[in-house]
Structure 1
Amino acid sequence: MLAFLAFHKDGVRRCSAAEQLWPDCTMQRAAANLRSALCHARRAGSANVIDSVDHCLQLSSPVWVDLHDVGNLAQEVLSGQGVPYRAAAGLVDELGRELLTGWSDSWLLLERERWDQLRLHTLEALAQQFQVAQQYVPALHTALAAIAIDRVRETAHRIVMEVHIAEGNVASAVKCYQEYKAFLDRELSVAPSRRMTQLAEDLMPM
């Protein structure tokens, strides 16, 4: 339950929480399960970690959630604000982590999709910022972290190509393109975008 509430900073109605946490139960059974879980949570520790106000539940304000801090930093990156290098390096590591690995709860499906989209876009934005600053090693590290999340998505592959080109490693850039092109053809029978293809063609001798 604590993990579920961590994704609802502004709180969630009790009926909605019960329905999402116990989707296979009747509403009456789910509500009873919720009451039982809240009772156990109160007995588990001396500090009250769950607030219940006007039929809404949320984590108490002193409770720290690491995901919120990572999300705030990610929003700073996506809004174009500069992030100190050390903070950016730590953010790359945090964004490389999967959300609640091993959990199979149905309510996590949407949260995982949101998390994956957030970390993909943030990693790509960070990689581009590193590239513009000519910090090529962290740019490659960050782009490769995005590729590890979604090999199909093109943006990070293209950034890797652009970094290789900026470093003068033309052969590496062409190899990156050819490997990605072969992967797409093998897995999906599609080709890279015209933008990426043109980038590769500009490197190849006529």
Structure 2
Amino acid sequence: MSESCVRLQLLSTFELFDDGSRLSLPLGAQRLLAFLALQKNATPRSLAAERLWPHCTPCRAAANLRSALFHVRRAGSIQLIDCANHTLRLSPAASADLQLVSKAASEVTAGLNLPPELQTGLIDALRRDLLPDWSEDWLVLERDHWDQLRLHSLETLARQLYSEQRYVQALQTALSAVAIDPVRETAHRIVMEVHIAEGNAASALKRYHDYRAFLHRELNVGPSQQMTQLLRDLMPT
């Protein structure tokens, strides 16, 4: 008998697949699965109810949790939530895309060089936001963690691509990091370095001046010495 393959998608949008078939769930059940997928340890039932339905009375929140559990139990071919000792956790038989991508991203930032075919898939996944259409309070910190991890990973990948002289991919990857956090300087410097390596001094200068104007407008500060030195290296002596 083949093992069931249940996949939980949290990047870009919520989806649940069982052996390739998309499963439909009420919003409460979706929120419960997503919440548990983001927890490192088993979560007490009372805490899950409180976090997921913070504006309800404890009695109403507990009832909502029971309803969500009922709908999750009816979905898929395996048990998606393990319940034991008044705690809940996502079943190990279900895999979440965020955990898989986060593991790969951590390995990249630790120095692992991926083959090109895996780099492309990882970069595409790192461009995706964590449940962007949801406004749950418990997602705020999780989004911050995800953004920091994917920023560092995208910048590391851009550096790797730059060192391999794959300038188009390096530029696109660095710009993906800029789109996530326009204030952060590291990716802007990589963009400048790629332009310089390609002989596009004017593009590098434009990137510097655009970023300097943005920082002045938003924070009333200027670029770092590292970035300014890149500019000086371009200037004729």
Work out whether the TM-score is over 0.5: yes
Pairing 1:202–2:233 present: yes
Partner-residue secondary structure (3-state), 2:82: strand
Give 1:193 deviation, angstroms. 0.8
The residue number in structure 2 matching 1:64 is: 95
CA-to-aligned-CA distance 1:79-130 (integer Å, 9 cap, x gap) = 1011111111111111111111211111111111111111111101111111
The residue number in structure 2 matching 1:140 is: 171
The residue number in structure 1 matching 2:158 is: 127
Q: 1:102 and 1:174, CA in 2 relative to 1: closer, same or farther beyond 3 A?
A: same
Give 1:8 deviation, angstroms. 1.7
Supply the distance in 1 between the matched residues of 2:160 and 2:38 (Cα, whole angstroms).
29
Match of 1:176 among 188, 204, 207: 207
Contact kept, 8 Å, 1:51 with 1:57, in 2: the verdict is yes
The residue number in structure 2 matching 1:28 is: 59
Contact kept, 8 Å, 1:9 with 1:59, in 2: the verdict is no
The residue type paired with residue 161 of structure 1 is M
The residue number in structure 1 matching 2:81 is: 50
Q: Name structure 2 gaps, 5 residues minimum.
A: 1-31
RMSD of equivalent CA atoms: 1.5
Supply the distance in 2 between the matched residues of 1:44 and 1:128 (Cα, whole angstroms).
43
Pairing 1:158–2:189 present: yes
Give 1:45 deviation, angstroms. 4.4
The residue type paired with residue 79 of structure 1 is A
Partner-residue secondary structure (3-state), 2:207: helix
Counting matched residue pairs gives 206
Match of 2:134 among 88, 103, 127: 103
> After the TM superposition, which of the residue ranges 26-35 and 111-120 deviates more from structure 2?
26-35
The two structures have a TM-score, normalised by structure 1, of: 0.93
Identity %: 60
Q: 1:186 and 1:73, CA in 2 relative to 1: closer, same or farther beyond 3 A?
A: same
The residue number in structure 1 matching 2:41 is: 10
Supply the distance in 2 between the matched residues of 1:129 and 1:21 (Cα, whole angstroms).
40
The residue type paired with residue 113 of structure 2 is G
The residue number in structure 1 matching 2:23 is: none
The residue type paired with residue 182 of structure 1 is A
The residue type paired with residue 104 of structure 2 is L
The residue number in structure 1 matching 2:27 is: none
The residue type paired with residue 64 of structure 1 is S
Match of 1:186 among 201, 209, 217: 217
Supply the distance in 2 between the matched residues of 1:70 and 1:104 (Cα, whole angstroms).
22
Q: Which has the higher contact order (CA 8 A, sep 6+)?
A: 2
The residue type paired with residue 145 of structure 2 is R
Q: Name structure 1 gaps, 5 residues minimum.
A: none
The residue type paired with residue 53 of structure 1 is A
